[in-house]
Structures are given as structure tokens and as C-alpha cells.
Structure 1
Amino acid sequence: MKKSNKLFFLLFYNPQILFILTYKEIFMQLHDEINQFIRECKSIMISSLNLNNQTICSYTPIIKNKNDFYIYISEIAEHFEGVNYNNKNIEIMFIEDEKDCISIFARKRLKFRVESVEITRDNQLFEQVLNTYENEDNKEIIQVIKNMQDFHLFQLILKNGRYVKGFGKAYEINEGTINLINSKGHKYSR
């Protein structure tokens, strides 16, 4: 009986402590869930603007090296112009496979605004990143395209983002914080 009295005392006199602990646990759970989701994705959707300010949406394999993200794309790729010349106006999205989702209307997805920075071939990081990627079951293809001069390596610098894990479960990601998006909810007709 004393334990429940202590809990009541904590709730009654210190409700903020309980909320902070609960929020911290939820934040850590979401953080781990997001990182696991990223690890599972081998490619991303990428949206950018070409030189004529036209929107280009495509996909590309994603290279993860430590805590950084890279793409290795050809000048022939439709999204190359946007990534190279309009490098501050890009969005990427990790998205759950259709066959794995509970509902097609609520696929798990994570998107970020990013800035791209080219890593030139004379930079040590170029070899390091491609070697890391080559060791992840991509050896044959990387050995072929590694020396193709029309391919460029870009680091994607993450800005703000949004993680949606289902109906009513959307979170804003900004400077390392994750916040539930407060909304008025959906409107229904009668």
C-alpha cells in the first residue's frame, strides 16, 4: 500500500518529473526506431530542381558511412543537375516497402531536406566511402562504376525532417529533437 501512496505523492506533487521521464523514454525509442528504419533502407527517393526549375523525382542507392549519408550518381542521371547545381533545394525520403506495410495509406516514411556537397576524387574520403560501400555486398558493381569519370560522390547534409509511422503518428525532426506534430485531426462528413 505504501508504494501506491508514494506514486500518488510523486504524481500529485511532481507531475513534471513523470512527464519528463516518459518523454525521454519515448524520444529514445523513436530515435532507435528511426535509426533502425534507416539501416533497413538501401535506397532513397530524391527530389530536386533541375536548371530550368523543374521538379525531378527519382531514386538512388544510399551509402551510409558512420553517421553520414552519400550518393554516387552519374551525370546522365536526371537528378544530377539538381544535386550538383541546385544543391540547397533537395529532399530525400526513406520509405517502407509496399509489401511490408500494414496499409498503403500509412506507409512508414522518413524525409529530410538536405544540402549536397560533392566529395572530389582527390579527397581521401572518396576512397573511404566507396570502399565501405563496396564491402556491403556491392563489390562487383562498385568496382565497375568506381572509375567511371561521369560518376560523382555527394555527401547529403541533413537539415529538418519528418518521420511518419502511421495514422496520427507524425513527428518533426529538427536539430536533433523529435516532436509529435500537433494537429486538429481529420474532419469527417456526417
Structure 2
Amino acid sequence: MGRSIMAKDLNEFLEDFKSLSMSTIDEKGNPFSSYAPFIKIEDKYYVYISLMAKHTTNLKNKNICSLFFVEDESKCLNIFARKRAMVQCNSNVIKQDTKEEIDLLEQFKIKFDDGMITMLKGMKDFHVFEFTPFYGEAVFGFGKAYNLGGKDFSQFVERENTGTKGHGK
């Protein structure tokens, strides 16, 4: 991920990521942040998480979340301008033991350890959640803020000039 140039799209930026940070909303309406390993297929993100985890309960009660991807601190050029993307999503739990779940778990096995996914599947309380983006932003340095757009929410879209000069320019 130590690229000093901007990624051409969100998918390129995410190539080296194995996990995502997610913010969910708890039963009191408070934000709750956590992380999970993920896979991305076309425009959707998938996590395999336990019913024992608070973020899973939050997602079952309110099916929205915000995903956050941020450049590794040790690889960034400026700590105040870490490359990052935020993706707001609707979530949906994938029914266990369906063809869809089996196919998705095969993709998890490819990206991660086959034995680990098999072990988690045996625990019976792990479920695949699907996240479908409805809004996103990316920041790749000072004055380099973009909306995410395109069919799969992976394209960097220049923001319209709002008449403000921003950052004192």
C-alpha cells in the first residue's frame, strides 16, 4: 500500500486491505466501531462475523453501517493527510447453508486461510453480511477530496466547486 501516487479508483486503493473498519449504531443510537476481515465482489462488501459480536447485533437491529479504509500510518507521507475512503452501506445478512453463502465462503477461503473459514463455519454462530454502498467519499491528500460514484461506487468523482477556497487557497 505504500504507493505515493493516487490510486486510479477505489478498487486499486483497496487491493492490499484485508480488513475494514465498520461503524454501526447500537440500541441507544450511539455509534460503535469495530473491524472485520472482508471480501469485495463487484460493488458489494462481505464480512463473516459472529452473532456474539456487538456489531452483529447492531447490524441485525439497524441495517446500515459506515465502512472505513485508511492508509497504514507507517506508510503514509503525512499523518495529517492519510489516504482514506468512507463508504456508507445498507446491510443484509446472508442465509446460512444456502448456495449464496457457500459461494461467498469459498471466496473467503481464497483470500484467507481455508482452515480458519472451515473452523468458523463449524461454530454455527458466524454469518455472512453483505454491504451495499449508497454513498462514499475518498480523500487522498490536501485538496484531493472526491465523492465515490460509478456503477460500483469505486470511481473517484471530482467534487463540484462550491465557491469556497478551502485550506486557505
What interval of TM-score do these two structures reach, taking the shorter chain for normalisation?
0.7 to 0.9
C-alpha displacement of 1:32: 3.5
Is the 1:160–1:175 Cα contact (8 Å) retained in structure 2?
no
Give RMSD over aligned pairs.
2.2
Comparing both structures, which one devotes a greater share of its residues to strand? 2
Q: CA deviation at 1:31?
A: 7.6
Give 1:77's aligned residue: 53
Cα deviation for residue 179 of structure 1 reads 2.6
For structure 2, the 5+ residue unaligned runs are 1-5
Instruction: Tell me if 1:106 matches 2:81.
Output: yes
Aligned mates of 2:137, 2:42 — CA distance in 1: 21
Q: Quote the offset at 1:187 in angstroms.
A: 4.3
Deviations 1:71-105 (A, max 9, x none): 111112221122221113x1001111111111111
Residue 186 of structure 1 aligns with which residue? 167
SS of equivalent residue, structure 1 residue 122: coil
Task: Say whether residues 1:124 and 2:99 are aligned partners.
Answer: yes
2:21–2:36 CA contact under 8 A, matched in 1: yes
Select the structure of larger CA radius of gyration. Answer: 1
Structure 1 alignment gaps of length 5 or more: 1-29
Corresponding residue number in structure 2 for 1:152: 127
In the other structure, the counterpart of 1:59 is 35
**1:158 to 1:56, Cα distance in 2 relative to 1, 3 A:** same
Q: State the distance in 1 between where 2:141 and 2:61 align.
A: 35
Tell me the alpha carbon deviations over residues 23-49 of structure 1, each in whole angstroms, 9 at most, x when there is no partner.
Answer: xxxxxxx78332111222111110010
**TM-score in terms of structure 2 length:** 0.84
What letter is aligned with 1:145? L
SS of aligned partner of 1:62: strand
Tell me how far apart the structure 2 counterparts of residues 145 and 138 of structure 1 sit (CA, whole Å).
Answer: 11
Q: TM-score, normalised by structure 1?
A: 0.76
Larger relative contact order (Cα-Cα within 8 Å, sequence gap ≥ 6): 2
Corresponding residue number in structure 2 for 1:169: 144
% of aligned pairs identical? 32
The equivalent residue for 1:27 is none
Indicate the SS of the match to 1:135.
Answer: helix
Greater share of helix: 1
Structure 1 stretches of 4+ with a deviation exceeding 4 A read none
> Which of 110-119 and 171-180 deviates more?
171-180
Residues 18 and 37 in structure 2, CA contact (< 8 A), matched pair in contact too: yes
